[in-house]
Amino acid sequence: MADVVIIGAGPAGIFAALELVRTNPGLKIVMIEQGRDITARTRSGKEMLIGWGGAGAYSDGKLTISTDVGGQLSSLIAEEELLRLLEHVDAIYTSYAPSGDLFSVAGDDAASLSAQARLAGLVYVPTRVRHIGTENLAIILGKVRQELEGKVDIRFGVRAEEILEEKGKVMGVRLSDKSMIDAAFVIAAPGRVGSSWMSSQAKRLGLETHPNPVDLGVRVELPAAVMESLTSKAYETKFIYYSRTFDDRVRTFCMNPYGEVVIETLGDIVTVNGHSWANKRTENTNFALLVSADFTEPFDDPIGYGESVAKLANMLGKGVIVQRLGDLLSGRRTTPDRLQRCATRPTLRQATPGDLSYCLPYRILTDLVEMLSGLDRIAPGVNSAHTLLYGIEVKFYSNRIRLDRDLCSQIDGLSVIGDGAGITRGLIQASCSGIIAAKSIAGRL
């Protein structure tokens, strides 16, 4: 028996537990996590995405204090309320460890950058960003873990198999070890890695859902000096582009000044991501360029589509493929010799020199090439022959589940939060969603 079961120990689940413990001490809370504790995790294979801290544990700890990016919570709660919550979450993170640097572009600088973007056919999205750093984020997550010790029953190495329901009321959770936990409230926070599982549970429970787009693209790496004029002020600059050929939405995502490109393992596929540290630097900057692939009926499996594209790249490259932009535009494969002559030294040594045009659909490839040309007008050198492209980068999101403003589903007692709910797309809004759900449950208790 438990008062509340939390599925997943990523940022959403952690902040839900933290809020419940602080406001309702004495509750019996059980947290289920298929991975390992923060002290036992490693930066390799599946360990990158599961375990205490979820996928956020090895991110660079970027807190985007803006209602416009990082999720869709602004569609459920008022913008002013969301902004206050974002600032509250930022204060919680920074109370545990060094606060990092807060970057913001405002006034004349923001107006100038916006004007430059418009001339290049791009839309600039101003944000406030706090960069904590990968190493400091691990410290924060460790301290939160210590605060919850003895207050929450945290079970590692076990998966939630099914959310149990009877007559429209949640009854608890069945686990992979065949045990069951009866509970009046269940908070599902499976994270991005659990998006397929959450979609299957929603279908089984009869929850109303809407397919989210899958984000497909590449990780771009280039000399840090190329982006210095932007990253020195904003750290992460957000640009949106609507492609000339197909009118598709393309965006920059997860910019890492002086960072490194890393491998992520999602089930049986290998993708890429980027990290940056607070106290050490590489000579490069990397960021993702992502195309939102949205589908209408009869097709309703964007996650499956993204997995298929990633698997094709893995098959061709025996993992991640890296290609010089000049080779891509010239219609030739990057070979080890050509990569050796590249002026941009790759930070991901395990990537296989290859040809991304064999696995990226023509439509998406065209979108990416067009945006690189537009970015070059703002930061000359982006469209260089020596810019490196790693693929495939793919971001999966569960079908967006119909939720109320408290993130409660149509099943009484079941809340669905974080990236696994298809409602958030980043560290800080995922954390916010945990607080929203916990406050609602605390009020009912």
Per-residue model confidence as pLDDT tens digits over 216-262: 999 999 999 999 999 988 888 999 999 999 999 999 999 999 999 99
Mean residue pLDDT across the chain: 92
Mean pLDDT, residues 344-352 taken together? 96
Residues 6+ apart with CB under 8 A from 237: 113, 124, 227, 230, 231, 252, 255
Q: Which residue has the higher pLDDT, 298 or 311?
A: 311
One domain, residues 263 and 408: no
Number of domains the chain contains: 2
Q: In which band, very low, low, confident or very high, does the pLDDT at 146 lie, cut at 50, 70 and 90? A: very high
The two structure tokens encoding residue 331: 């219609």
One domain, residues 380 and 272: yes
Q: Are strands 29-33 and 2-7 parallel, antiparallel or unpaired?
A: parallel
Residues 6+ apart with CB under 8 A from 442: 19, 20, 23, 24
One domain, residues 20 and 166: yes
164: β partners: 172
Q: What is the CATH number of the domain that holds 64?
A: 3.50.50.60
Residue (of 93, 133, 9) closest to 420 by Cα position = 9
Does residue 56 have a pLDDT over 90? Answer: no
Q: Which of 217-226, 274-283, 343-352, 369-378 has the lowest mean pLDDT?
A: 274-283
In a domain, 55, yes or no: yes
One domain, residues 93 and 199: yes
Does residue 212 have a pLDDT over 90? Answer: no
One domain, residues 203 and 224: no
In a domain, 121, yes or no: no
Does residue 185 have a pLDDT over 80? Answer: yes
Q: Which residue has the higher pLDDT, 410 or 426?
A: 410
In a domain, 114, yes or no: no
One domain, residues 161 and 255: no
> What pLDDT digit, counting tens, does each position of 61-70 carry?
889 998 888 8
In a domain, 126, yes or no: no
One domain, residues 198 and 242: no
One domain, residues 316 and 347: yes
Distance from C-alpha of 13 to C-alpha of 123, rounded to nearest angstrom: 33
Q: In which band, very low, low, confident or very high, does the pLDDT at 318 lie, cut at 50, 70 and 90? A: very high
In a domain, 112, yes or no: no
pLDDT > 70 in the chain, percent:
99
pLDDT > 90 in the chain, percent:
71
In a domain, 6, yes or no: yes
One domain, residues 184 and 258: no
**Which of 93-107, 156-170, 387-401 ranks highest by mean pLDDT?**
156-170
One domain, residues 20 and 138: yes
Domain that holds residue 23: 2-97+133-210+400-444
In a domain, 103, yes or no: no
DSSP state of 408: B
Mean pLDDT, residues 387-408 taken together? 90
Q: Report pLDDT for 45.
A: 73
Mean pLDDT, residues 293-309 taken together? 84
Residue (of 400, 435, 411) closest to 186 by Cα position = 411
One domain, residues 408 and 308: no
Q: Report pLDDT for 363.
A: 96
pTM: predicted TM-score of the whole model, two decimal places:
0.90
Q: Report pLDDT for 66.
A: 87
In a domain, 104, yes or no: no
One domain, residues 50 and 182: yes
| Domain termination site, one of 377, 395, 413 | 395
Q: In which band, very low, low, confident or very high, does the pLDDT at 103 lie, cut at 50, 70 and 90? A: confident
Q: Report pLDDT for 432.
A: 96
